[in-house]
Chain A
Amino acid sequence: MTAAAAYDAAGQIAGRAVEAAGPPTETVSIVERTADTLDRSVGGFSRAVAAADTPVPLPPSTPFGAALGAVYVGQLARARVARVPLLFVAAFQSLGIMLLLRGVVDVGNETTSEQVVAGSTVLVVAFVALNLLAQRFGALRAAGALDYYLTLPVPGSAVVLGTAASYASFAVPGMIITAVVGSLLYGLPLSGLWLLLPVAVMAGASLAGIGAVIGLLAPRQELATVAGQVGMSVVLFLGIIPADRLPLGIDVLRDLLPSTYAVDVLAGAFRPSVNWGMVTVDLLVCALVAFVTLLAASIALRRAGNAPR
């Protein structure tokens, strides 16, 4: 463009913007390209808002079951990307502990062997459902990323329960590996291991509930991380060390921990005869803790949004 032409162009529009990175003048082709697909997706909606002079009827919230399913499936999909930390790190830790103690424990002492294997197995759940979930919720909260869930028309309890359930599921492969390898390592029978299923569900729910409460209530992300790790360490010590060898006073703590009841169920699974009454009571304790903690976490999630960013 010559100087004169440039001047003319600038003069004619007399002060209109001649900015280099111009307005969206090339949108036409994009608009045309997407016209068909969009007509399908927004057509029904345009009819719905056509009668615009009355207050808008509220679209329904997403039902609890559908929301729970969507959260759970969405969280499970994360395992494909974060496979190693979510599914296997916990198992490595438990396998390491069992190998270490194999050199210390008298394998002939069945009570101790049962306790070590059961405690290591439940430790997998504590690592994933308590520790990792506390860290996850703590990080989401610190980043303001809980806004994503809080601005969707879903109940908070569905978000908490769906996420907790997915983290409990992440623990299942590690639990199976740990229990089977542990049984072989310590010469314990494998026949009662089907009890892993209810233990995974109940220990998973109760420990994930504690993890969610920690992550959503800790004032800072670092505190959520520390509390999650301390919680896991407590499960480690009180779960693996047999009750009769714990120092006086500490054994009271053992009774307060929901993981203890899961460990007791699993330890019983290695014995020839299972005390069904005790198993039921132990699992009910886990269920009660799960109910209370998940309820608290749901309330905490709702409050987490009302914070400055």
Chain B
Amino acid sequence: MGRVLSYVVRGLTRRHGAGEHAVLATSNIDLDVGRGEVFGVLGPNGAGKTTLLRQLMGLIRPDAGSITMFGWDVVARPDIPPRLAAYLGQHDMALEDLPVGRAVETTARLRGLGRGAARAARDAVVDELGLAPVVARPMRQLSGGQRRLASVACTLVGDRMVLVLDEPTTGLDPTARRAVWSALERRRAAAGVTVVLVTHNVLEAETVLDRVAVLDAGRVIACDTPGRLKASVSNDVRLDLVWRCDPPAHDPTIARLARQAEISGRRWTTRMDAAAARDALARLTSGPAFAALDDFTLATPSLEDVYLALGGASRTLERT
């Protein structure tokens, strides 16, 4: 028998509403998620990301299609995912009146840990995520970022084989975000934990995901590694320029860039092949325009470019 995948999804379809108001939240989705993989679902608001995750957790029955988890049929047995996976939803209201430590410990107990084991697991995850200073404070009194971090702690406690996370780093500051990523990476490295997560943050998707499925209007419009997805779209690079003041319009490089740039206030975004970008940047940084240049960024195509190139219509993806 071959290696059993964490998730095998085939033809997954779920319709919300009825009649002419019906919307296909997920439409004929096929996915394979390997063991120990960090798998991302990227897409704009309303693309069906949360519905897909809730189906993976057995919370919503699909209208059609199948989901197997480590070989078990999730559609027939919705009690399977809670035994194998931990879920981080978007709402923490069930826990908001509890002090952080109590919330984590209660969740550990509900995952079947004994009293002593639950306390040890609580202390470990609280330390790991840097929550020790707020461990005695009720979650509702925390800042948005700390509160989200406390919810992440509740998800991590109890060592599940799969973590299904709906926007785990939304609202987190960079330090907390790194703490979450290192926590996930450690679990993957040490225990082969599989991570399936939703993000609409392009940068996050590019830096931490092994593979990413791009969702648009309930369909998977692409699924591959971030690098291959980007390579499939274009060999062009993106040159972003931010001006301190108006650049000298008579400069031939400026004039050429101005013709092809998407201009948004003082920010110019241009796309060209790598050699042309290097040449343009050399001229800008050594010529008279440099005095007006505030900042520049040279980058390969982002997953946002992939999303747009593949026909994604929404522009609500986040870049930072």
Contacts and interface: CB of A to CB of B under 8 A. Distances in A.
A276 interface: no
A10 B278 contact: yes
B81 A151 contact: yes
Interface string A49-62: 10011111011111
A19 B299 contact: yes
Contacts of B120: 40-41
B91 A54 contact: no
Interface residues of A, number: 73
Interface stretch (A101-109, A141-149, A192-200, A284-292): A141-149
A273 interface: no
Given A24-B181, A37-B124, A41-B125, A144 B89 contact: yes
A126 to B, nearest CB: 22
Interface string A66-82: 11011101100110011
Contacts of A73: 106, 109
A153 interface: yes
Contact of B82 (A6, A14, A39, A152): A152
Nearest to A37: B124
B110 A70 contact: yes
B162 to A, nearest CB: 10
Interface in B29-50: 35, 50
Given A56-B71, A56-B161, A66-B109, A143 B191 contact: no
Interface string B273-295: 01001100110011000100000
A191 interface: no
Select the residue from B70, B94, B124, B278 with max chain A CB neighbours within 10 A: B94
Contact of B54 (A4, A63, A309): A309
Nearest to A50: B192
Interface in B279-320: 281-282, 285-286, 290, 296-300, 302, 320
B80 interface: yes
B97 A78 contact: yes
A154 interface: yes
A54 B2 CA distance: 8
Contacts of A147: 54, 57, 59, 87, 89, 91
B178 A42 contact: no
A4 B282 CA distance: 8
Interface in B137-174: 138, 140, 159, 161, 174
Interface stretch (B202-210, B214-222, B257-265): B202-210
A2 B179 CA distance: 34
Interface of B: 1-4, 16-17, 25, 35, 50-51, 54, 57-61, 70-72, 79-87, 89-95, 97-99, 102-103, 106-107, 109-112, 120-121, 123-125, 127-128, 138, 140, 159, 161, 174, 177-179, 181-183, 185-187, 190-193, 203, 206-208, 237, 274, 277-278, 281-282, 285-286, 290, 296-300, 302, 320
9 contacts: A18-B298, A34-B124, A35-B186, A39-B190, A42-B191, A56-B71, A60-B112, A77-B98, A150-B59
User: Closest 4 A-B residue pairs measured CB to CB?
Assistant: A70-B109, A145-B93, A74-B106, A151-B87
